[in-house]
Structure 1
């Protein structure tokens, strides 16, 4: 009997460990990925097939396209600087691991320092992507056909972990991530997309978390979720919470207005605790999305003006408040939402905001979207995600920029 008792205790202990290991954590990172060994890369010019580690404090000049082959790794220590010439791009078939720090971020930019002047990270067949504390600016240079390239594109069922980074002045989708398992946390995306392009475009069975990000002045939608019309399963399903989405969706015009968050084509979204200000459309749930399983609430909607002229057809005056939940979608105001009825009502009270509604690609983001102490966004959240709304929260878990 005693042996049986001890046996049951051991089984119970093992079951407890297994169950605890399966519990969903608020955020998941892939920083413990085992990647192939790499060696230091000497500073100076790089191009062609490259593997190894970019070194702290060193400057690298990319004179032509760089390819990281399958099984190889391109890594970076904090504080490396990469200057890209000749509209070159990084093609990632192996592993990309850029690990900056708050005190020493990594920098990628073109030598021209102008929007759309290098090709970004084309990582369709990559094995893993990790980007932390990096500035990635002025991507989206044209491909051979003349079309703007996405800043980061993945078309593979791999882990993609992008945290605490800054992205400015891209020309198309800032992130186009298909099939991937994503962790997109505490980033700042500013003034991207020339006349089109989403900030975070997740499709084709993508899974994961998008939280505590700031998306400002994106041409298209801030965050877009879709699966596939031809391959409906596995479904895209993403938690979208505590993001601050400001002045998005205007550069495409009324024919296809951008949204703060959109869910369509059999995708599932769980959309909570976001602050949405001056976006062409707020939350749009399309009739082809999986609205049975999509959930949402505790979002704050605000507009600094009553109407604004459509950029493509200025004769159209857009009532932003009417489009918090646009009539073209099936989303409805929720009892837990904070929905502004007039200027001043439910103003989120950013520390500094210039009132921008629509702006051109490359418009400087000089705003400070942290919240004043009297903001209505505090203590208004769904506590499954956070007590507060928006990217900057009182518990210190939010955006660190």
Structure 2
């Protein structure tokens, strides 16, 4: 009996050790599911009506609009490269699954590699959208009326999972999601979208879920925008917006409608914590028509690398005092007890490892930065622990953004 008891104890300790090791590895390892090849697409040109599997490490070309019909799936394996020509777009009525890996991401770009040179993904009636470890670049090509198209649109009550991906150089909204979608938008890098207008992540119409650990840089408008439909105020949009790093947003749209790091309006509810907001035209705006009673926010860091910056989008130009715009006076948002709010250059500097301090970068300008935090950053250890003990997209526990070079 004694030997059996001892054996049970040893086995229990061993099992606990294994489970503990698994738990630790899960914090930093992202392993996509192993999905078998189905209906492989072997032609180098993706057909106008597409379904099946884009094969790993294969390069494909799109020559015309591509439609994924309802009931069909377009699945991309790791390492797929898609070159889009002729301002084509991908229209998804079925399921879109782009599943790259850290070592072999998927890539969609135009043949010219110029901002606004292809139409992006239009998933308004899609059945599910999954985008993992994927580059989506230079979207926003004009529609038949000449208007720029959003890079990714969804208008359906579906599951949307967008993680660990890169989006750059769109011409309007980078992501425009509505229709009651259930979203998970984690650890992405979104840069330099919106030629003169457009938000980084624009969520409306009863969208719910999480936006976290993203880097959002140089959007023409706001980094993250939450609203509920004017025509259907219920159910409400309600989103957790936490541990994002939001840089240099709002300047290309300028004074006509200043862009914010995060904005909440039109009966929407936001839970906004642990974000680092630097050099944005405005910081966090809770509009008077937001559901301010249910909206919660705190533990956000606000900083600017200059006390003032000149907005040249209007005539005459206006000088903006950045600290006055961290919580704009025309909104109902107020500084919270655990916010870190800079009073001037050097005070509450988040201490990124590398950031040039840019304000108004042109559409298409790359982000050259290392936004992980130096030791001694005030953002370390000052987060709301419900989300993370640290602030910003790069956290000391390794759960945050996995992109080493932005």
| TM norm structure 2 | 0.90
Work out the CA distance in 1 between the residues paired with 2:139 and 2:48: 19
Work out the CA distance in 2 between the residues paired with 1:271 and 1:325: 13
- Decide whether the 8 Å contact of 1:43 with 1:58 is kept in 2: no
Which residue of structure 2 aligns with residue 367 of structure 1?
369
Work out the CA distance in 1 between the residues paired with 2:183 and 2:76: 20
Question: What secondary structure does 1:322 align onto?
Answer: helix
Work out the CA distance in 1 between the residues paired with 2:79 and 2:209: 29
Deviation at residue 38 of structure 1 after TM alignment = 3.6
Alignment deviations for residues 83-130 of structure 1 (CA, whole Å, 9 cap, x no partner):
000000000000000000000000110000000000000010000000
Deviation at residue 311 of structure 1 after TM alignment = 2.8
* CA RMSD, Structure 1 to Structure 2 (Å): 1.6
Which residue of structure 2 aligns with residue 5 of structure 1?
none
Which residue of structure 2 aligns with residue 67 of structure 1?
67
Alignment deviations for residues 228-279 of structure 1 (CA, whole Å, 9 cap, x no partner):
1221001000000000000001111111000000000000000000000000
Which residue of structure 1 aligns with residue 318 of structure 2?
316
Following TM superposition, the consecutive aligned residue runs of length 4 or more in structure 1 with deviations greater than 3 angstroms are 34-38
Work out the CA distance in 1 between the residues paired with 2:301 and 2:174: 24
Which residue of structure 2 aligns with residue 214 of structure 1?
215
Return the match for 1:394 from 393, 396, 401. 396
Which residue of structure 2 aligns with residue 299 of structure 1?
300
Question: What secondary structure does 1:47 align onto?
Answer: coil
Which residue of structure 1 aligns with residue 128 of structure 2?
128
- What aligned pairs does 1:248-267 form with structure 2 within 5 A after superposition? 248-267=249-268
Which residue of structure 2 aligns with residue 190 of structure 1?
191
Question: What secondary structure does 1:321 align onto?
Answer: helix
Question: What secondary structure does 2:324 align onto?
Answer: helix
- Decide whether the 8 Å contact of 2:37 with 2:53 is kept in 1: no
Alignment deviations for residues 206-233 of structure 1 (CA, whole Å, 9 cap, x no partner):
0000000000000000000000122100
- Decide whether the 8 Å contact of 1:35 with 1:73 is kept in 2: no
Return the match for 2:330 from 328, 331, 337. 328
User: Structure 1: where are the runs of 5+ without partners?
Assistant: 1-25
Number of residue-to-residue matches in the alignment = 372
Which residue of structure 1 aligns with residue 227 of structure 2?
226
Question: What secondary structure does 1:184 align onto?
Answer: strand
| TM norm structure 1 | 0.91
Which residue of structure 2 aligns with residue 244 of structure 1?
245
Change (3 A) 1:204 1:367: same
User: Structure 2: where are the runs of 5+ without partners?
Assistant: 1-26
- Decide whether the 8 Å contact of 2:193 with 2:219 is kept in 1: yes
Question: What secondary structure does 2:173 align onto?
Answer: coil
2:205 equivalent to 1:200: no
Alignment deviations for residues 135-169 of structure 1 (CA, whole Å, 9 cap, x no partner):
10000000011111111100000000000000010
